[in-house]
Amino acid sequence: MCGIRSSQGGSQDATFREQEPHAIHEDWTVQECEEVTVVMWRKVLGLLLMGALSACTQPINRCETAADCRSGALCLQNVCVYDGEIDSQACDRPCATYEACSALTLKCQPRFTGLVVTPGDATVIDGGTLSVRAELQVTPGFAANFPATLNVGVTRGDGGTVASLATATEGDGVYTTQWNPSGEGAYRLTAAYPEQGGPSTTVGLTVDTTGPLLSVVPAAAQSREPDGGFIYKDPASPSAWRRDQTATVRVESSSADLDPQSVSVLVRGFDGGVALEGLTLVPATPCDGKAYCATVDVPLWKPGLPAFRGEFAVEVSAKDRVGNQTSGRGNIPVTRWKWRHGINSAVITAAPAVGNKGVLYVGTTNINNNDGRLLVLSDDGRLLWEANTGAVVASPAVGNMLPDGTERVYAAHRKAGTNRVGFYAGSSAFISSCVDFASTTALVQSALAIGQVPVGSASETVYGVYTGRSGGTLFAVRPDESDPFYQCPLNPGVGDVVAPGSMLASGLSVVLGTSTGRLKSYALGSSGLWVSSAQWDRPLGVLNPTSMAVADGRIFGGSNDGSNSRLFTAPLDGGQDPTNTPTGSPAWNASIGGSPESRLVVGLQSNNLLALDAADGGTQTIQTPSEIIKGTPVWGAGGYVYTASSTSGVIQARRPLEHIEWQFDAESPIEASMNLDCSRAADGGVVAGMPGVLYAASQDGRVFAIVVDSPGLDSTAPWPKYQHDSRNTGNPDTPLTSCP
């Protein structure tokens, strides 16, 4: 330590303290120095230098230039000399409180090297409370002498005063305050030492309370124009997207301060339906001069749509770089309408069948059941081929895929009094191995059923009954049999099976219910011909049984017997007589669902749906005012049940059975049972994760394809639709089409 004595009668230490133990050159060491007394303050610098050089055994902080010294030092005669504060009376004038008398220059020097304000200059802030921090930075060697407060004021960019802010000290020269902007615009914030002339700093601030501009533009719907009797646009909403499509939405902004990482998309379901979020935005090019542009794909089958048609609101949220949030909105009209095909001069009462790769087979007739066609339609709405060979009253059935990639569709025809049964295999060429019956009364009215003889073989056996011929003639079509004699064995006198009665294929047998109220089972013998007598024959106690369903080894069905109509159940093996439950009204086609519980559902002539618990026999009646449901209710995946009215043509989606989620008016009665399939790829393969397609055919010759939220049939249901499966095989062992 080197001391300095005043020449004005007092004694004062201008303490010179080396802050570091070593000079810049580490081979120099610091030696103790004795106090140096200066007689005249004007000569203090020279004396200090002399004392430093003469009193120390070797130089202290040797330097060549000031760059060799610590900040704030001078390099005099090759020695780093550091400043310090002395009594201001030693300077050439009294120093202000924000100044200090320099021991080196004997002049008043700034006590503070700066006043740093945070936020800094040219900062953009939002309209919320702004925290301001100001820090006085002390010149090395001078005492701090921080004031109790600072003066902080805010003015507008044009100079108008806005506010004067009180500050609080946090110690060590740090002061804080807060400002609540009164509106957008440019402002200047000044922090100043409380004494005039002291350090002052002004920063420019821009207050931005407006979020970035957003534009949300959904692309126009992709739909084909009418073609060949097909209508692809929903007549009630021609600009709507289909429920099974993906709509692209473009998001744009002209705001340069938009933060791309903040942009998010929410798609709201219609009428309270579940919303969809977490969609990915992809930068779009070109951007057409916009500051930001991106696209997002919206899978329209994911947001909730508890209606046949509606609108999804696409809500886009974004922030600017200071956190101001904004949103934009666009609407996507959506419909379940996929297509409709009109067939001239046709009546449809037969349930359509769906092939192994999604091809739809539709049989038509006319009012006299003397003429008609079989039409083959693709799932995307194209006529693949048609056969004009006669009326198709009984529902067609589709066999297994053949090794060459084709499939057989079996149908019974009547044209100009000639009746025949056979199949098509990929073209309109009808292949019949059975005898043609020239009769105006004989007609195959009930469904066909497909079994395998023997069970598990590739050989298909298709069963049916000619009603009105020889007391009901049972036949079997066996296209894989090489001997023509055995290709179509007949068995007369089994009893008539009237519409809409059904046939069941079970194991090596076929089960049928006759119009006279008998439940019978027949089988082909080892010779390939029918065993003349029934395997079993049980009384039903009712006339005209309608379609049947199988669950847990039991047959369930209903009857069209006026006020004596009943639901019946019997063992599939015929081990005991059927039991029945009165319905008081004709019961039409039955199906059995598996979720949430196994229930048989059948439409009654009395404008009701009757649900019977397959486990305990308990019943529940659900009113359908002014609507008679003759077609089989269809159990779809996801807990849906689909019904169609034979009175008005209204199609309804129910979930649960008692609640109608949406409905569609086909404007013509629908008596034929509906069908349900998966979404299909171009090659006919199943598309995973997509909705299903419901097919309905009205009596006036129109076929509807409707996008539904069920990806196919209910896989837990033992008998989810007419004739069990999409192919209409009537066989409980036929696997249901899997729609993952």
Q: Are strands 650-654 and 660-665 parallel, antiparallel or unpaired?
A: antiparallel
- Number of H helices and number of E strands within the chain? 1, 56
More confident residue, 16 or 370: 370
| C-alpha–C-alpha distance, residues 501 and 203, integer Å | 90
Which H helix or E strand runs over 206? strand 200-207
Tell me, what's the pLDDT at 433? 76
pLDDT band with cut points at 50, 70 and 90 for residue 12 = very low
Q: Is the pLDDT of residue 196 over 80?
A: yes
> What's residue 72's pLDDT?
64
Cα–Cα distance measured from residue 381 to residue 340, given in angstroms and rounded to the nearest whole number: 8
What is the average pLDDT across 429-436? 85
Whole-number mean pLDDT of the chain?
88
| Phi, psi dihedrals of residue 484, rounded to the nearest 5° | -55, -30
Rounded distance between C-alpha atoms, residue 341 and residue 325, angstroms: 49
pLDDT at res. 4: 34
Position 597 confidence tier, pLDDT thresholds 50, 70, 90 = confident
Bridge partners of 333, per DSSP, are: 311
**pLDDT at position 47:** 37
Percent of the chain beyond pLDDT 70?
91
Strands 200-207, 123-125: pairing kind? parallel
Q: How many CB atoms lie within 10 A of CB 540?
A: 22
Rounded to whole angstroms, what are the CA distances from 151 to 99, 202, 204, 400, 648?
A: 18, 12, 17, 91, 83
Give the pLDDT band (50/70/90) at residue 453: low
pLDDT of res. 634:
98
pLDDT, residue 60, reads 58
DSSP annotation string for 1-66: -B----SSS------B--SSSS-SSTT-----------S-GGGHHHHHHHHHHHSSSS-SSB-SSG
pLDDT of 22 above 50: no
Name all domains of the chain by residue range, CATH numbers in brackets: 1-82 (no CATH), 113-207 (2.60.40.10), 215-335 (2.60.40.10), 338-708 (2.130.10.10)
- Digit-coded pLDDT (tens) for 281-314: 999 999 989 999 999 999 999 999 999 999 999 9
Residue 433, Cα to own-chain centre: how many angstroms?
51
* The pair of three-digit structure tokens given for residue 723, joined into one six-digit string: 């004739």
d(CA 481, CA 493): 24
**Amino acid code (one letter) for 494:** V
As a whole number of angstroms, the distance between CA 369 and CA 145 comes to 112
Count the neighbouring beta carbons within 10 Å of the beta carbon of residue 46.
Answer: 13
Q: In the structure, what pLDDT confidence band is assigned to residue 458 with cuts at 50, 70 and 90?
A: low
Cross-strand pairs, 665: 650
DSSP 8-state code for residue 527:
T
| Least confident among 120-124, 433-437, 709-713 | 433-437
* Cβ 85 vs Cβ 92: under 8 Å: no
What separation in angstroms does the CA of 245 have from each of 65, 240, 370, 375? 78, 11, 41, 26
Q: What integer pLDDT is reported at residue 13 of this predicted model?
A: 36
Task: Give the residue-averaged pLDDT of 254-273.
Answer: 96
Q: Is the pLDDT of residue 51 over 80?
A: no
Per-residue model confidence (pLDDT) at position 531: 87
Please write the tens of the pLDDT for every residue from 396-414: 999 999 888 899 999 999 9
CA distances from 126 to 122, 154, 213, 465, 649 (A): 13, 16, 16, 82, 59
Confidence check: pLDDT of 216 > 90: yes
Lowest mean pLDDT among 12-21, 230-239, 409-418, 533-542: 12-21
Q: Is the pLDDT of residue 39 over 60?
A: no
Strands (E) across 307-457 are located at 309-319, 325-335, 337-342, 353-354, 360-363, 374-377, 383-387, 397-401, 407-415, 418-424, 437-438, 449-452
The 10s digit of each residue's pLDDT in 87-138 is: 988 998 999 999 999 988 899 999 999 999 999 999 999 999 999 999 999 9
Using the predicted structure, report yes or no on whether residue 36 has a pLDDT greater than 90.
no
Q: Is 115 helix (H, G, I), strand (E, B) or coil?
A: strand
Give the Cα separation of 32 and 178 in Å (integer). 51
Whether residue 719 is predicted with pLDDT greater than 80 in this model: the reply is: yes
- Which of 291, 290, 282, 287 lies closest to 248 in space, CA to CA? 282
Q: Which of 309-318, 337-346, 474-483 shows the lowest mean pLDDT across its residues?
A: 474-483
* pLDDT tens, residue by residue, 689-708: 999 999 999 999 999 999 99
Q: What is the pLDDT of residue 645?
A: 97
Identify the three-state secondary structure at position 361: strand
Q: Is the pLDDT of residue 45 over 60?
A: no
pTM: 0.82
What is the distance between the alpha carbons of residues 392 and 352, in angstroms, rounded to a whole number?
A: 11
Give the best-scoring range by mean pLDDT among 47-61, 516-530, 610-624: 516-530
Specify the residue for token string 């124009």.
225
